[in-house]
Structure 1
Amino acid sequence: METVKRGYMPKDTIEFGPKSEAKLNAAAQELVFLMDRGYDTKSASTFVGNHHLLSERQRLALARMISPHAALRERERKRLRKGPQALVLDGFNTIITLEVALSGSLLLEGMDGTIRDLAGLRGSYRIVDKTVRAIELLLGRMEALGVKEALFYLDQQVSNSGRLRALLLDKAEGCSVQVQVELHPSVDGVLSRLENVVTTDAIILDKCGSWYNLNRELIEETVPEAWVFRLESLKIWNETAAMEGP
């Protein structure tokens, strides 16, 4: 199997490097300001991105990192502090982020504490050299947490979802976690109605009953060399908002 750097883009080292931080920090503060006042992400990102002459990837990154504070407070309220005995996982969302981490490609720290990627599915997926390791790390972490049951949901319409299902079930043999994998045409819709969800999808986080930030602790503990891009202005803004309250 060929070596693949999932989510890698050559320009990332420049667009998210030290020389771009000041511009991105300023843009992030303006985007938070607008979103807190009811502007939708797309229009606010376009306005701020044009003002600061941001690339499409920089705009997408900020949109992935930033959320209005009303949403952040609600997500924090629903966040599980301890791993439950049963988890429901957004399969592609979780595994792809781990593949990106193992590839040394760009990851983003969101204001809600999640770690997201910019890889994207776009309807297609293929198993790469990092996939098996990502699954092994995921299963190992769930075993360590004492998780008894794990239900993975995979988007049925995405190519190779069946192959990934077979791989997940194969690697789960002999594991103390009872793993099930379901292919479904509307994963977001299903997860939005459930508890104990593992995802970084903002829409699902806003709608689900409760969620567990599994990927962040897994990446920090097992892939400490992962490239996680953070913005100081968002940290300061979060701390200020927390002191001010709702």
Structure 2
Amino acid sequence: MNNRNRGKNTGDDTLFGAEKQIDKLKLAVHDMNYLLSRDYAERASSELVGNRYKLKTRQIQALRGASASEKQIQNRKLKQIEASDLKDKIIYLDGFNILILLESLLSQAYIFRGLDGCYRDLSGVHGTYKRVNQTQKSIELVSQFFQKTKLQKLVWIFDKPVSNSGRIKQIILEFAQENNLNWEVDLQFNPDKFLAENAEIIASSDAWILDHCKKWFNVIDYLIQEEKLSVNLIKMF
């Protein structure tokens, strides 16, 4: 076991720990929603709003993750399904998205709840995935979700070009075999496109996937409620 966590960055408590900063971010999200709903581009909107509220880079990152237009929010809500709809179904998981989000959450990093009800963090894969102390627990949480909702099958989809994607595939398959879980792990060159086009039900908090998928399930919200997870949560509205 290594000693890596996916926790807070130095300075995150200053950016997200004070009520004054959160109030500022909530106003910024409100402004972003206004601009996006009027078809302003996301990058231009976030720069405009970021300048107005004097936001730092990581605050702008959180702002972008939490924001959506009214049309996007409605569209995503219409496609969202409940836990009771999952019995005997197959779900496709946006692998790195869900895994890293759970690792961050378990590391007590700041997690942001956006206008669409999805949770997002400030971590990411930059060409390489590194296993952390919370990886095993994250996989176990997905297993609890799988068993409690009585899914027929769960398919993890990972980015093939990301270094170590083959290694995490092996770890998950070994775990599934040991625990007799009907899981598959697939490596795709373009996982976003694959999930949007080929999966009936997906689990992801990626905005583009949510906008283009057929149906989706909010697995992070489910796990927070069901497993009563301790979350360093910031509601951005």
- Regarding TM over 0.5, the answer is yes
Within the candidate set 199, 204, 212, 2:204 is matched to 199
Take 1:204 and 1:7, find their aligned partners in 2: how far apart are those partners?
Answer: 25
Within the candidate set 88, 96, 100, 2:100 is matched to 96
Q: What's the RMSD between the two structures over aligned residues?
A: 1.3
Question: Structure 1 42/36 Cα, relative in aligned 2: closer, same or farther at 3 Å?
Answer: same
SS at match of 1:136: helix
Take 1:83 and 1:100, find their aligned partners in 2: how far apart are those partners?
Answer: 28
| Residue 39 (1) aligns with residue 40 (2) | yes
Take 2:163 and 2:227, find their aligned partners in 1: how far apart are those partners?
Answer: 29
**Does the Cα contact within 8 Å between 1:106 and 1:229 map onto a contact in 2?**
yes
Identity score, percent: 31
Within the candidate set 146, 156, 162, 1:158 is matched to 162
Question: Structure 1 76/12 Cα, relative in aligned 2: closer, same or farther at 3 Å?
Answer: same
- Tell me which residue corresponds to 2:91: 87
SS at match of 1:159: coil
| Residue 228 (1) aligns with residue 229 (2) | no
**Does the Cα contact within 8 Å between 1:4 and 1:103 map onto a contact in 2?**
no
- Tell me which residue corresponds to 1:63: 64
Give structure 1 stretches of 5+ with no counterpart. 235-246
SS at match of 1:146: coil
SS at match of 2:186: strand
Per-residue displacement from partner, 1:32-69 (whole Å, max 9, x unpaired)?
Answer: 11111111111000001011110011011011001001
Give structure 2 stretches of 5+ with no counterpart. none
Take 1:223 and 1:98, find their aligned partners in 2: how far apart are those partners?
Answer: 13
Pairs aligned (count): 232
**Does the Cα contact within 8 Å between 1:148 and 1:177 map onto a contact in 2?**
no
**Does the Cα contact within 8 Å between 1:101 and 1:223 map onto a contact in 2?**
no
- Tell me which residue corresponds to 1:219: 224
Take 1:52 and 1:136, find their aligned partners in 2: how far apart are those partners?
Answer: 40
Q: TM-score, normalised by structure 1?
A: 0.90
2:223 maps to amino acid:
L
SS at match of 1:173: helix
Shift of 1:175: 3.5
Take 2:142 and 2:101, find their aligned partners in 1: how far apart are those partners?
Answer: 11
- Tell me which residue corresponds to 1:237: none
**Does the Cα contact within 8 Å between 2:223 and 2:229 map onto a contact in 1?**
no
Question: Structure 1 213/127 Cα, relative in aligned 2: closer, same or farther at 3 Å?
Answer: same
Shift of 1:220: 3.2
**Does the Cα contact within 8 Å between 2:113 and 2:235 map onto a contact in 1?**
yes
- Tell me which residue corresponds to 1:21: 22
Moved runs in structure 1, 4+ residues, more than 6 A?
none
Q: TM-score, normalised by structure 2?
A: 0.94
**Does the Cα contact within 8 Å between 1:147 and 1:177 map onto a contact in 2?**
no
- Tell me which residue corresponds to 2:128: 124
Take 2:39 and 2:159, find their aligned partners in 1: how far apart are those partners?
Answer: 31
**Does the Cα contact within 8 Å between 1:110 and 1:116 map onto a contact in 2?**
yes
**Does the Cα contact within 8 Å between 1:169 and 1:181 map onto a contact in 2?**
yes
Shift of 1:106: 1.0
